[in-house]
Structures are given as C-alpha cells and as structure tokens.
Amino acid sequence: MNGSRYDILFEPVQIGPVTAKNRFYQVPHCNGMGHRAPSGMAAMRRVKAEGGWAVVCTEVCEIHPSADISPHNEARLWDDRDIPALARAADAIHEFDSLAGVELGHHGFRAQNRISREIPLGPSSHTVVSYDPVQSRAMDKEDIRNLRRWHAAAARRAKQAGFDLIYVYAAHGLTTPMQFLSRRYNQRTDEYGGSLENRARLLRELIEETKDAVGDTCAVPVRICVDELVGPAGLCSDGEGRDLIEMLADLPDLWDVTVGDWSNDSRPSRFGEEAVHEDYVSFVKQVTSKPVVSVGRFTSPDTMVSQVRRGVLDMVGAARPSIADPYLPNKIKEGRLDDIRECIGCNICAAADNTYTPIRCTQNPTMGEEWRRNWHPELIPARESQDRVLVVGAGPAGLECAVSLGKRGYEVALAEATTELGGRVLREPLLPGLSAWGRVRDYRLGQLHQLANVEIYMDSHMSADEILGAEFDRVVLATGSSWRRDGVARYHRTPLAGLDEKAIYTPDDIMAGRIPTGPTVVFDDDHYYMGGVIAEKLRDLGLDVTLVTPAPVVSGWTANTLEQPRIQKRLLDKGVTIVANQGLVGFSDQAAKLACAFTGRETTIEANSVVMVTSRTSHDSVYNALAAMGDQVRDAGIKSFSRIGDSLAPGTIAAAVFSGHRYAREFEKPESDEVPFLREVSELGPWSARN
Ligand code: ADP
Ligand code: SF4
C-alpha cells in the first residue's frame, strides 16, 4: 500500500553487514519445541518470514552442556551435530528473504544442568533459581576463558547453519553475561567484579569475540536488560543500565532492549498495556547510533509508527503479536487491518514452554501445528463436498469453527441461543483486567462479516428435535459449559454435602450480575485465572472477600502464564484475605468450614456467601438427545453430529478455539488409529559405545 501512513514501517534497516527489508523484527521467543522438535520449530519460524517479518529469530540457543535448561526445550549448538536442525530453520526463514537470527545463550546459575549433570557456573556461587538443591560455583579465570571459547565456537556453528544475526544474550537474568553485569549476582573482587566497567568486561569480550568470529558477514546484536526493576540494587535505566549502554554504545550491531525478567518482558494484558516499557527503553536511541529494537505487545500499526517517528525504536520487536498473527506485517502492508488477529496477552504461549510442550496460542490455533499437522494460519483447504453444516453455539469454539468452515467454502449456519455472539469471550472480558480477551470474539466477528456463506441465527436455542428438522448434513455442537455449584473439582471428587444452596454462587452468577452480599468466601479449586479474577471483582464492589484454596498460592497454574506473583500481589494490595492450603468442607449458618489440606484440622470463618470456582459441567444435553435418537438422526439426512470446545470437555479458551478449528479442517477425515500428527523420533546413538 504505497503512500500510506504505515510506509515508514516498510523501510529497510541496516544491521551491521546485513539489511533487514523492513522494520518488523520477530525477537527471539521460546516455543517448547527447540532441539526436541526442530522441524516444528523451523516451520513455525518459516511462516513468520512468509508473513513479512524482516528478521525472524530462534529461541535461546544453549551453547554448551553447562547451559542445559532441560526440560525446557530450547535450541542447542552444543556441537556440530546440532547444526543441521538449526540450518533447517535458517533455510526456511531465507525462503522469504528474511534474515535469520539465533540467540546464543549460556545460562550461568539459571541452568540446573539436569540432564548434563555439569556443575552450574556463575559469577559467584549461588543457589539456582528453581528449588533444585543445586548451587553454582564461582567461575575462575579458566572458566571465563572456556566460556568465551564456547561462545565463539557456537557463533561459528551458527554461521555455518546459515544465520545472519548471531546474538550475545545478556537479559532476563537468564544468562552468564547478565549475571556478571548485575551487582546482585556478581560479588567478585577480580577484574570481572566491582565497578560497572569490570562487571561489563565479560559482555564486552563476548561481543568483540563474536564479531571476530563471524562479524564479517553476520550482524551481532545484543539483547540487554536496561532495568532489572529492583532500583539501584540492579541495572536501572536512570543508573547503571544507562551507563552500560553509553559505555558499549556502538559496539554491537543492534540493541535488543528488555526490561526486567521474562514475566515483565511478556507482560500479560491483565498487568500491562501495549508499549508498557517505553519509559525505560526510550533513552537507548539517544546514546547509540546502532538500531534499537524492543517489544511492547505491539498490535496497533499506529502505535508502531509512533514508536518509530518519535525515535523510541528503529524496529518493532514482537514475540506474541507474531505468534497470534504471523502475517501481521503483510496485513499492514496490504491495508488489511481488520484481518489482524491481535494478541490478547493471555500468555498461553508462554505456558506451553513452561510445561515443556509445543507452543500454542489462543488466537492462532495453527501455531505450533505448521509442520506436524501442516496447518497454515492464512490458508485452509477448499471444501471437499457440498455438505451444509450447522454449528450450534457461538462461543470461541463455535465462532472459530464457523469461520474456518466458511473459509473452506462450506455453507454454514451458526445458531446462538442468546442475542449476542461470543459465549465466554463475551462475558469474561468484562471481568477485571480481561478486556483484551474480547479480541478473540472481535477477530472472529470481523471474519464472519466477510463470509457470505455463513448465516448467523441469533436468539435461536436449538433442541435436538429442531436440529433434526433443520436439514443439515453435519451438526457441530459448541454449546459450552457452566460452573458447578457442588464443590466438585480436585479437592472434592464427589459433591459436597450440606451446603446452604441459597448462598452458593458461581462465576456464571457473578458474570450475569448476581452478586453476593456480606463477607464472601471464594473457594478456588480451579487454580487458573478465574478464582483470582472473581475475588478481585467482588473486592472492587466493596465486599469483604476471603479467597480459600487448597493450593499454597492463589491461581497456581498462572505461574505458567507468568502471572502468579502479580495476581497474588494485586489481591493482597486490594485487601483480599488469602487462606492457602485449606479446603472448603462445609457451609451453613453463615459459617464456612475449612480443613487444612495436610492435617485435615478444621476451622470456621464467618461468611454470608460462597463462590465456587471449582470445575465446569459440559452442556451436552442436546448431544445426548441426538445420540439417543439412533437411526432417526441418519434418516433426517445428518451424516454426523459432534461436540467441540467446552461442550465436549471444559478447558481453556485456547483449547476451545483449537477444537473448533480442528473440526473444520478434519471432519471429512475417516476415523483412524494413526498418530494424528508428524513427530520426530530421536536418532539412536552407537550401541557399541556401551560397556
Ligand atoms: P466454548 O468455549 O466451547 O465455545 P461457550 O460457553 O463460550 O463455549 O459458548 C457456548 C455458546 O453456546 C453460548 O453462547 C451459548 O449461549 C450457546 N448455546 C448453548 N446451548 C445452545 C443451544 N442449544 N442452541 C444454541 N446455542 C446454544
Ligand atoms: Fe498472545 Fe495469548 Fe497468543 Fe500468546 S497465546 S500470542 S499471549 S493470544
């Protein structure tokens, strides 16, 4: 789109000896595939290049067995045998004239070395950050020389693999050069400790030696933390963070600027808006002539332009926006802004890495499936038949299913019982901090409006009989689920007896505006976001709220989405009382009876009401009624009826979207016992090597 206000985003940028074709820069991001699923990783990066990102980087790449952060699946260049896997990614990125970057990393005392069993190395002796009973040893001069040699060797391997940008990584507290930089971690008294200049010595050496090794043809960017968010005790952007950039200003070929640890860099939308780091980052361009990139969950092209025009950034960094929409640059270029699948900031992508599984995304159901299922975020095979499909229910599962079937060219009817589309992604975004989650609905409604072959029927509650009479070839039930009232989840596997039912609420009640009064207990045995969000909402309404959970912390699973500490802090700051390690065992006569999760010892607390945030029941009555009709269904011309999303099994919004998408792609496929995706099986080592 020439002559557009977004043209500035498509200007080339020189990075050392290489040129990026535009300003879109996919910064390194983990993906749970790494060295264990290299083709999956390569295909995922390839689709970003195809979508217009000028620079596409790998995740962190361990340079040596002493940088082993297993079971996290990151990239590896331990030796030459690791080159072909990474070459596959570099080659795939080059297919679209994009530059391939690799983030070499040595993890210092953040590496537990669980597989390699090497002793972790660090500037000083520290316990590792996890609870593993492991400590690093302080590196001596020989260790430092070794590390520099390993890094240069890995850089040469990366060049051999075909990478154009070869990083030195000193950010997120995760790597050895960063640990040397921070006075929190570096208590050395030699020339690598003490003054900032001394603490920066290792970083300087690594930059210089990486340039010596590969700098003739490859750019050497540095990923740096300019503010550890601990005040003067660490690097800060009005203190040592700034001094450091001034000191090394033009040494690297590009500054990739970060703030705080990963949970801050990838701030969930519940705790940070777009461009949240600007105040910390904006000084960097004033003190260097080299290009500057940073992230900020940028999905708005206007924000991107503003960052460039105001001299905050030269390149628009993105991890999550490139995951949610690998085609973000091309869509901006083509003026297709309404087609952008905007990241919602839920961090389900990060949770995949943290649970050691291939990346997934709430907004983009094809993410991580590019190679193993051959799914593409923008392309979907044309229909195979004239089948007419009825989708019942317009939550995330039904919406995604209808959109994807519609894009395939099927004639689709989407019937929704209520007068609004969205199901849970209509209701939940109204809860505190979750407004960005409404983008799941917004994107799909925008797509539906472009599809003339999808008819929408509102206010259409479908019974099994009505479905039978509706004359469709295929029926998909996406009827969702409701929160249970009886306490059943993990702590209670059978209903809790003797509850004062009039005063029991569920998240569905709260979202429907049925609000408890007086002191209220939120019993959270779900452990994802809902318990914390409901407690926050009720507290905001002025209630005296006690969150009771059998877990040691609130919203425990959100440790995987990088949210847990912020959730607990927010609840405490707002005055929610947190009672951990306790189960709710009874509620009557304005008293909630609790039991210690370890001893079973009982106590009571005063409560007018209890909100059960436990588990959900699928809405499967229509499905079951159809199933009970036997041949009548076939006689009515229905070839198949299926459940998707929460009506099949309650889960995340990401799982509902995936389920709807999968149905749309696979419903014609014959049933099969084959593994439904490609996988890479480890190559056997030489058997002769055994004793
Ligand atoms: P999911 O997460 O699986 O998409 P949701 O609970 O978000 O599920 O959405 C389910 C949607 O289905 C809701 O909008 C609900 O109103 C609708 N629905 C439920 N039962 C019926 C029905 N029998 N006919 C039409 N729509 C239904
Ligand atoms: Fe964004 Fe959520 Fe997708 Fe991650 S999973 S890219 S945070 S929408």
CATH code, domain carrying 98? 3.20.20.70
**Is 523 a domain residue?**
yes
CA of 656 to the centre of ligand 2 (A): 14
pLDDT tens sequence across 543-592: 999 999 999 999 999 999 999 999 999 999 999 999 999 999 999 999 99
Asked whether residue 278 falls in the same domain as residue 142, the answer is yes
**Atom 6, ligand 2: residue with shortest CA distance:** 320
Among all ligands shown, which has an atom nearest to the Cα of 620? Answer: 1
Looking at 573, 593, 615, the residue that finishes a domain is: 615
CA of 537 to the centre of ligand 1 (A): 24
* Stretch 92-108: mean pLDDT: 98
Asked whether residue 404 falls in the same domain as residue 527, the answer is no
* Stretch 534-538: mean pLDDT: 98
**Atom 11, ligand 1: residue with shortest CA distance:** 393
Q: What per-residue confidence (pLDDT) applies to 498?
A: 87
CA of 397 to the centre of ligand 1 (A): 9
CA of 644 to the centre of ligand 1 (A): 10
Which residue numbers are catalytic? 30, 169, 172, 265
**Atom 13, ligand 1: residue with shortest CA distance:** 423
**Cα separation, 92 vs 81, whole angstroms:** 19
pTM: 0.97
Q: Are 234 and 183 in contact (CB under 8 A)?
A: yes
Asked whether residue 608 falls in the same domain as residue 635, the answer is no
CATH number for the domain including 555? Answer: 3.50.50.60
% the chain with pLDDT above 90: 96
**Is 130 a domain residue?**
yes
**Is 364 a domain residue?**
no
Q: Give the atom of ligand 2 at the shortest distance from the alpha carbon of 364.
A: 3
Tokens 């500057």 appear where?
Answer: 292
Q: Write out residues with Cβ below 6 Å of ligand 1.
A: 392-398, 415-418, 423-424, 460-462, 478-481, 619, 622, 645-647, 656
Number of structural domains (the chain) is 3
Task: Tell me the one-letter amino acid at 506.
Answer: T
Asked whether residue 447 falls in the same domain as residue 516, the answer is no
pLDDT tens sequence across 294-333: 999 999 999 999 999 999 999 999 999 999 999 999 999 9
pLDDT tens sequence across 611-632: 999 999 999 999 999 999 999 9
Q: In this structure, what DSSP letter does residue 569 have?
A: H
Q: Give the atom of ligand 2 at the shortest distance from the alpha carbon of 350.
A: 4
Q: What per-residue confidence (pLDDT) applies to 652?
A: 98
Q: What per-residue confidence (pLDDT) applies to 232?
A: 86
Backbone angles phi, psi at 503, to 5 degrees: -105, 15
List the domain range (segments joined by +) for residue 313: 7-355
**Is 521 a domain residue?**
yes
pLDDT band at 691 (very low <50, low <70, confident <90, very high): confident
Q: In degrees, to the nearest 5, what angle opens at C-alpha 414 toward C-alphas 410 and 419? A: 160
- DSSP assignment of 625-663, as one string? HHHHTTHHHHHTT--EEEE-GGGTS---HHHHHHHHHHH
Q: Which value, in Å, is the radius of gyration of the alpha carbons in the chain? A: 27
Asked whether residue 464 falls in the same domain as residue 501, the answer is no
Asked whether residue 126 falls in the same domain as residue 28, the answer is yes
Burial class (CB in 10 A: 0-12, 13-18, 19+), 469: exposed
**Atom 2, ligand 2: residue with shortest CA distance:** 346
**Is 681 a domain residue?**
no
Outline where DSSP puts E strands in 544-601: 545-548, 577-579, 582-588, 591-596
pLDDT tens sequence across 237-269: 999 999 999 999 999 999 999 999 999 889 999
Among all ligands shown, which has an atom nearest to the Cα of 267? Answer: 2
pLDDT tens sequence across 161-191: 999 999 999 999 899 999 999 999 999 999 9
Q: What per-residue confidence (pLDDT) applies to 431?
A: 98
CA of 245 to the centre of ligand 1 (A): 53
Asked whether residue 244 falls in the same domain as residue 139, the answer is yes
Q: What are the C-alpha distances in Å from 1 to residues 73, 333, 416, 420, 500?
A: 39, 6, 38, 35, 63
CA of 395 to the centre of ligand 1 (A): 6
Q: What per-residue confidence (pLDDT) applies to 362?
A: 98
pLDDT tens sequence across 634-665: 999 999 999 999 999 999 999 999 999 999 99
**Is 377 a domain residue?**
no
Asked whether residue 320 falls in the same domain as residue 437, the answer is no
pLDDT tens sequence across 363-374: 999 999 999 999
Among all ligands shown, which has an atom nearest to the Cα of 441? Answer: 1
Asked whether residue 491 falls in the same domain as residue 597, the answer is yes
Query: To which H or E segment does residue 254 belong?
Result: strand 254-259
Among all ligands shown, which has an atom nearest to the Cα of 458? Answer: 1
Asked whether residue 85 falls in the same domain as residue 154, the answer is yes
Q: Give the atom of ligand 1 at the shortest distance from the alpha carbon of 462.
A: 24
Task: From 416, 440, 476, give the residue whose CB has the most ligand 1 atoms within 8 Å, as the site to mutate.
Answer: 416
Of 685 and 412, more confident: 412
Asked whether residue 643 falls in the same domain as residue 604, the answer is no
**Is 368 a domain residue?**
no
CATH number for the domain including 439? Answer: 3.40.50.720
Q: What per-residue confidence (pLDDT) applies to 690?
A: 79
**Is 44 a domain residue?**
yes
The answer to whether residue 1 scores a pLDDT higher than 70 is: no
Looking at 584, 615, 646, the residue that finishes a domain is: 615
Looking at 599, 615, 631, the residue that finishes a domain is: 615
pLDDT band at 2 (very low <50, low <70, confident <90, very high): low
The answer to whether residue 152 scores a pLDDT higher than 60 is: yes
Asked whether residue 317 falls in the same domain as residue 414, the answer is no
